[in-house]
A and B are shown apart, each in its own frame.
Chain A
Amino acid sequence: MTNPRYVLNVLGQDRPGIVAAVSRAMTDAGCNIEDSSMTMLRGAFMMIMIITVPMGSENSLRTAMVGITATQGLQVHIDPYPEADEGLRRTVEGVSYSLTLHGADHPGIVAAVTEMLASDSINVVDLSTHVVEGSTPMYIMTMELVVPESVEKAGLRGRLDKLSEEIHCAISLTEIETATL
Chain B
Amino acid sequence: MGVREILLYPDETLSRNDNAELDTADPTVDQVLQDLADTLDASPGVALAAPQIGHAVRAIIVDVTKDRKPERREGHGRVLMLNPIITQTSDAYPVREGCLSVPEYTGNVTRYRQAVVKGYVPGSGIRALHCEGFEALAFQHEVDHLNGALFLDQAKSARRNLFRRAQ
Chain A residues within 8 Å of B, Cβ to Cβ: 35, 37, 91-93, 96, 126, 176-181
**Chain B at the A interface: SS class:** mixed
Which B residues are closer than 8 A to A by beta carbons? 44-47, 72, 95-100, 106, 134, 137-138, 141-142, 158-160, 166-167
List the B residue with the shortest CB-CB distance to A181. B141
Q: Is the CB of A181 within 8 A of B46?
A: yes
**A181–B100 CA distance with the chains assembled, in angstroms:** 6
Q: Is there contact, CB below 8 Å, between B167 and A178?
A: no
Task: Let me know if B100 and A92 touch, CB within 8 A.
Answer: no
When C-beta atoms are compared, the residue in chain A nearest to B160 turns out to be A126
Contact of A92 among B99, B138, B142, B166 (CB under 8 A): B166
A91 to B97, CA, bound (A): 20
| Residue numbers in A under 8 Å from B158 (CB-CB) | 35
Closest chain-B Cβ to A97's Cβ sits at a distance in Å of 11
Contact between B45 and A181 (Cβ–Cβ < 8 Å)?
yes
Decide: A178 and B95 in contact? CB cutoff 8 A. Answer: yes
Given contacts A179-B134, A181-B46, A181-B47, contact A96 B166 (CB under 8 A): no
Inter-subunit contact B166/A181 (CB<8 Å): no
CB distance from B24 to the nearest CB of A (A): 25
Question: Could you say which of A37, A92, A126, A177 contacts B96, with CB atoms under 8 Å apart?
Answer: A177
Interchain nearest-CB distance for A175 vs B (Å): 10
Complex contacts, B134 vs chain A, CB 8 Å: 179
Contacts of B47 in A (CB 8 A): 181
Q: Is the CB of B95 within 8 A of A179?
A: yes
The answer to whether A93 and B166 have CB atoms under 8 Å apart is yes
Residue of A nearest to B99 (CB): A181
A181/B138 contact (C-beta < 8 A), A91-B166, A93-B166, A176-B96 known = yes
- The CB with the most chain B CB atoms within 10 A, among A37, A96, A178, A179, is that of A179
B62 — nearest CB in chain A belongs to which residue?
A181
Take A179-B134, A180-B45, A181-B46 as given contacts and tell me if A96 and B159 are in contact as well, using a CB distance cutoff of 8 Å: no
In the complex, how many angstroms separate the beta carbon of A150 from the nearest chain B beta carbon?
A: 16
Cβ 8 A contact of B167, one of A35, A91, A126, A179: A91
Looking at A37, A176, A181, the one whose CB has the most chain B CB atoms below 10 A away is A181
Known A-B contacts A91-B166, A92-B166, A93-B166; the reply to A181 vs B159 at CB < 8 A is no
The smallest beta-carbon distance between B164 and chain A, in angstroms, is 10
Complex CA gap A45/B109 in Å reads 28
Picked from A91, A93, A126, A178, the residue with its CB within 8 Å of the CB of B106 is A178
Contact of A96 (CB < 8 Å), options: B96, B97, B99, B100: B96
**Residues of chain B with a CB closer than 8 A to A91's CB:** 166-167
